[in-house]
Structure 1
């Protein structure tokens, strides 16, 4: 990363899904000491606070089945503007969630600064649903699709342009819960995905080496979208949508350490920390440990 300035912004939102609690994620990560950890590593850190979220009644659209569409659109518009300002200042945007629907705003704010933004989507889920394929109507299962230009126009056109990403510039790591519509899209568009089968078979070191090689030659910036539910619930119990059989603590640290060594990540978000479901802020503290690895922290 170099020793550039890091700008931290929280998005205390749980409107992209139906399980309450992830709106407290940014507070949990801050409480676990993320600012102090980054400063200890030698970075200048600007904590610019939280995006203001309007918490109204949970609404499901009768026409398309999507939950809280207007509120999620409004929040992501604010986030996109904030991230754009961070980028203009030459600072590194580090976004703390909040549910994964906030990736819509983060990517909207970042992508306009690159011709070919790459994305590493470290997640148990593909987040490639639209209203036609989503079994739940939860927008936190749609942000990658939205960033590719698929879905509701109000979401797709946040920040005034679409699409934000190209199919060939995405790598999903840790997937183990994919809906049928997502599987079809992955196969149709040839999206590069490392499921837990590949993690077990190839090992994380090989996967990150391949990911770096794949994205390095075709992108001019790489955004890391990190969902804590990528890890097995043994390590990260306090997440919005836990799925057993996930990536381990050490595999994940290795992945982030290798990415830090290559100095390729240009923006990042860490999402889906849910303190209500957590054990003494275990997941919030884990998020801080992982952020430390991403920004160059080492055992020795």
Structure 2
């Protein structure tokens, strides 16, 4: 894995309505991520935080999407920042913020790859559109937008449409899918390991299959890890917790196997909300998982 890591904070809380997730990047830094990665021999360049606009008091008349203009503008900024990091031959590591930040992340990362793969580690599919979303919250739409499905303002971030192909996506940990998302998954043939598969097969088999599947078809793999992919007992500080999730130890195993495979070329950790957390527990979990992803071992 690239020994140069550039950290970008994306304190976005406009993709949903619960406040506090904008403090996620600060919480992750406070939990000691820089020291942890430096101890593993990495050169860290913390680029600071992207400036995020204000929530819009007046919603757009032609869509039910909340804060569309502000999310779009912030996503363009993140896209540009990531492209600069990649030009510097550094590994992009992004801290959220709600999961809408992935729209900008994938726009910035994908331009450098012909066939980008994505591991979506999440309780949710994030495959909604304005037409299928029950809430209008954009944090439930980033994967759909990255596929080129949804509102034009979101699908065209970075000046192009289609950041990832459906056959290059693996969703891990899903246990809360809306009807429109289920239809899209089946129509597009997206590979999904729900909690049923994880329970039945075990995380070792799930990751072995994921690594084999993506290694054979991609030239880079982005990890998008939503902390609500973990069970709320292990990661309580998230905006949309869903019981019955991936355990802390299973998540470490997944990250350790990705480290051994040398598969990941960029990563983001999202939805850490300190206001909903217990003594910064969720941010500390995020930091520990990053340690495993970047090669930390007990012996």
What pairs up with 1:80-119 in 2 under 5 angstroms?
80-119=79-118
Equivalent in the alignment of 1:246? 245
Question: For residues 58 and 6 of structure 2, what CA distance do their matches in structure 1 show?
Answer: 32
Equivalent in the alignment of 2:68? 69
Q: In the superposition, relative to structure 1, how do residues 168 and 32 fare at CA in structure 2: closer, same or farther (>3 Å)? A: same
Equivalent in the alignment of 1:135? 134
Is 1:292 paired with 2:291? yes
Question: For residues 125 and 272 of structure 1, what CA distance do their matches in structure 2 show?
Answer: 12
Question: For residues 192 and 223 of structure 1, what CA distance do their matches in structure 2 show?
Answer: 15
How far off its partner does 1:57 sit?
3.9
Q: Contact conserved, 1:58 with 1:67, CA < 8 A, in 2?
A: no
How far off its partner does 1:159 sit?
0.6
Is 1:190 paired with 2:189? yes
Question: For residues 117 and 285 of structure 1, what CA distance do their matches in structure 2 show?
Answer: 29
**What's the secondary structure of 2:287's corresponding residue?**
helix
Q: Contact conserved, 1:59 with 1:67, CA < 8 A, in 2?
A: no
Question: For residues 54 and 278 of structure 2, what CA distance do their matches in structure 1 show?
Answer: 26
User: Gapped runs of 5+ residues in structure 2?
Assistant: none
Equivalent in the alignment of 2:150? 151
Q: Contact conserved, 1:232 with 1:244, CA < 8 A, in 2?
A: yes
**What's the secondary structure of 2:100's corresponding residue?**
helix
Question: For residues 36 and 279 of structure 2, what CA distance do their matches in structure 1 show?
Answer: 19
Equivalent in the alignment of 1:13? 12
**What's the secondary structure of 1:236's corresponding residue?**
coil
What pairs up with 1:8-47 in 2 under 5 angstroms?
8-47=7-46
**What's the secondary structure of 1:14's corresponding residue?**
coil
Is 1:205 paired with 2:204? yes
Is 1:169 paired with 2:154? no
How far off its partner does 1:24 sit?
0.3
| Cα deviation code 1:130-151 (max 9, x no counterpart) | 0000000000000000000001
How many corresponding residue pairs?
299
Question: For residues 189 and 160 of structure 1, what CA distance do their matches in structure 2 show?
Answer: 23
| Cα deviation code 1:257-281 (max 9, x no counterpart) | 0000010100000000000000000
Question: For residues 10 and 58 of structure 2, what CA distance do their matches in structure 1 show?
Answer: 20
Question: For residues 175 and 106 of structure 2, what CA distance do their matches in structure 1 show?
Answer: 23
TM-score of the aligned structures, taking structure 2 as reference length = 0.99
Structure 1 runs (4+) deviating above 6 angstroms are none
Alpha carbon RMSD of aligned pairs, Å? 0.8
| Cα deviation code 1:194-238 (max 9, x no counterpart) | 000000000000000000010000000000000000000000000
Is 1:280 paired with 2:258? no
**What's the secondary structure of 1:235's corresponding residue?**
coil
**What's the secondary structure of 1:100's corresponding residue?**
coil
Question: For residues 93 and 54 of structure 2, what CA distance do their matches in structure 1 show?
Answer: 23
Question: For residues 25 and 57 of structure 1, what CA distance do their matches in structure 2 show?
Answer: 21
Q: Contact conserved, 2:4 with 2:42, CA < 8 A, in 1?
A: yes
Equivalent in the alignment of 2:121? 122
User: Gapped runs of 5+ residues in structure 1?
Assistant: none
TM-score of the aligned structures, taking structure 1 as reference length = 0.98
**What's the secondary structure of 1:224's corresponding residue?**
strand
